[in-house]
Amino acid sequence: MAATPGPAARDHGRPAGQDHARKALGAFLRSRRERADPTETGLPPGGRRRTPGLRREEVSLLSGVSLTWYTWLEQGRDINVSPQILLALSRALQLDEVERAHLFRLSGLPVPEPAGRSRHVPDAVRTFLDTLMPNPAFVIDRCFDVLAWNRAQEQILGGALLERAPGELNSVWMLFREPLLRTLMPEWEAEARWLTGLLRQQAAYELDNPRFTELIDGLLATSPEFAALWPEHDVVEFRSSVRRYRHPDVGDFEVSYVRMAPAEAPWLSLICHFPELGSEDERRLRRLVTLPG
């Protein structure tokens, strides 16, 4: 995977921020090269070293990146890098996960996620769900599978949430396949169209995920409404907004909702609903949460 040296650095017309990022990238690479342990690379012993760490020639050999091109990188020259080259350099320089992410950010590229993303919800996130009471909150992954929730969310959805088979514990599946949600959500049609657009947007990242394919195929086979919406290819981004409920125990109430991602598991999303402070919506939600379960 040898890289071919690109054009010489362009000295004019460059945004100052980009120039600073390139210099920071070069300094970071140099610091990691000087810190790397040559004995852990598999390279043959190279005799006495005047300076610690790896030589540039050794980084080039280990990564498959040309020596000239790597030297230009350390010098902060105006050249482009690919994710594949950054991954090769990460391995050659023995970078850990945090350092690799930093390398990608300095290069202006998206940080790659670890293979085999865990569905484990960190303990701190589960505790945080409980501290949000009486505001309903739950955690989903990028296939919209519901992985954790608090008691307020249980009080709203009841058996629709608690009495599901594992493969159906999914916010999109429940919206289209659970009759109770059509009763709870007076704006069900708008919710269905919006959530289908979110799912379509996520498809670009999850088409090679068997769980995602299983979900789509199952909905196409069992929900005429989803089968009508999915081929339209409408795509939307998540935006904080308002959701309205019509609950048989407390009547109508309105809540805003936001989405947060845990830093240690950015493929998870925590969705939290909250009413306006001091409003009738807040009083109804609090009354609902204190009802016997």
pLDDT digit string, tens, across residues 266-289: 889 999 999 999 999 999 999 998
Q: Is residue 132 domain-shared with residue 257, that is, in the same domain? A: yes
Q: Which of 61, 77, 106 is the last residue of a domain?
A: 106
Q: Tell whether omega for the bond before 112 is within 30 degrees of 0, i.e. cis.
A: no
Residues of the chain with pLDDT under 70: 1-17, 44-49, 114-116, 292-293
Q: Is residue 190 domain-shared with residue 264, that is, in the same domain? A: yes
pLDDT at 112: 78
Q: Is residue 166 domain-shared with residue 91, that is, in the same domain? A: no
pLDDT digit string, tens, across residues 14-48: 455 677 888 999 999 999 999 988 888 777 666 56
Q: Is residue 192 domain-shared with residue 80, that is, in the same domain? A: no
In sequence order, what are the residues at sequence separation of 6 or more whose Cβ sits closer than 8 angstroms to the Cβ of residue 268?
Answer: 121, 125, 139, 140, 141, 147, 261, 262
Closest by CA position to 224, among listed 178, 177, 180, 262: 177
Q: Which of 106, 136, 153 is the last residue of a domain?
A: 106
pLDDT at 224: 97
Give how many domains the chain has, as a whole number.
Answer: 2
Domain hosting residue 247, numbered range: 123-290
Closest by CA position to 275, among listed 95, 73, 71, 136: 136
Q: Is residue 148 domain-shared with residue 281, that is, in the same domain? A: yes
pLDDT at 165: 85
- Phi-psi domain of 42 (left: phi exceeds 0; alpha: psi -120 through 50; beta: other): left
pLDDT at 38: 85
CA gap 291, 28 in Å, rounded? 57
Q: Is residue 199 domain-shared with residue 277, that is, in the same domain? A: yes
Closest by CA position to 89, among listed 74, 110, 76: 74
Q: Is residue 138 domain-shared with residue 80, that is, in the same domain? A: no
Q: Is residue 55 domain-shared with residue 160, that is, in the same domain? A: no
CATH value at residue 93? 1.10.260.40
In a domain, 26, yes or no: yes
pLDDT at 88: 93
